[in-house]
Amino acid sequence: MRPSYWCARCGHSHSLESREGQRHLERTVSRELFGKAIDFTLNAGAYAYITQHSQEYVRDMQVFGVLRDKFSNAGMFQTPEAASNWLHEHLTQGQSGLDHLFRRLQGDGAGEVDVLRHINGSLRGILYETQFITGPGGHIASNTPGFDLKVVNRLTGAVVERIQVKSNWSTDPGTLRQVVRDFLSGEHYGGVPKVVEKAWRILPPRETILL
């Protein structure tokens, strides 16, 4: 499709590649209007860039805030220096250290933060608020069996839903298989096999590899 525009001068659509289109464009678009268009484009691009990176910064701050609260007794996320030392220590331990690092960052932090931000940032967040499960001391729990988040009705304060977040990261196939086995056989996930069975009936037949 050739780029074109509507010419208010003659009431027709012109191709930007035609001589007539180029000649009428010079009369239609003033230098002042063109300058405003360029200025708007630059500002819009800068706004989108700043907004996107601001959101990423806020998310990263939330992730480390969750980890600091969850593992306050261990202390590895209490200060930027402690977190940096913990990070570099695991980076020097080879693949096992890298797996542990990502399991902690993604499994205990980023995965839960992303789910919370997704729900609270949606239309559902107008009436409901997703919160972390906290222990007796008010700290975010790191080992609550069965669920990590709760959805609370903003008007009544009642808990309407509990959510379990599974966000495992590992390069070891055996670890991933064990996580899936624990997930399917766990007493808190009774509905998961039913969901898998329903998906199996809906989806077209295909090769299946059992872990």
CA distances 172 to 91, 96, 146, 194, Å, are: 17, 9, 24, 27
Residue 17 scores a pLDDT above 70: no
What's the pLDDT at 99? 81
What's the pLDDT at 198? 58
Residue 28 scores a pLDDT above 70: no
Only one residue has tokens 């464009």, namely 25
55-108 residue pLDDT tens: 787 888 888 888 989 888 888 888 888 888 888 888 888 878 888 888 888 888
d(CA 136, CA 12): 72
Residue 111 scores a pLDDT above 50: yes
What's the pLDDT at 193? 61
CA distances 5 to 11, 29, 40, 179, Å, are: 11, 11, 19, 57
Pairing state of beta strands 12-15 and 128-132? unpaired
Q: What is the dihedral of CA 36, 38, 43, 46, to 10 degrees?
A: 180
Least confident of 16-30, 157-171, 186-200: 186-200
Mean pLDDT of 171-182: 70
Residue 211 scores a pLDDT above 80: no
| 172 three-class SS | coil
What's the pLDDT at 201? 61
Better-predicted residue by pLDDT, 144 or 158: 158
Which stretches of the chain are DSSP H helices?
A: 19-28, 31-70, 80-91, 94-102, 111-120, 173-185, 192-202
Instruction: Tell which residue, 169, 158, 163, 168, has the closest CA to residue 148.
Output: 163
Better-predicted residue by pLDDT, 41 or 72: 72
What's the pLDDT at 93? 86
Considering the chain, what is the average pLDDT of its residues?
75
What's the pLDDT at 209? 42
What's the pLDDT at 47? 62
What's the pLDDT at 75? 86
Domain ranges of the chain: 4-33, 49-171, 172-211
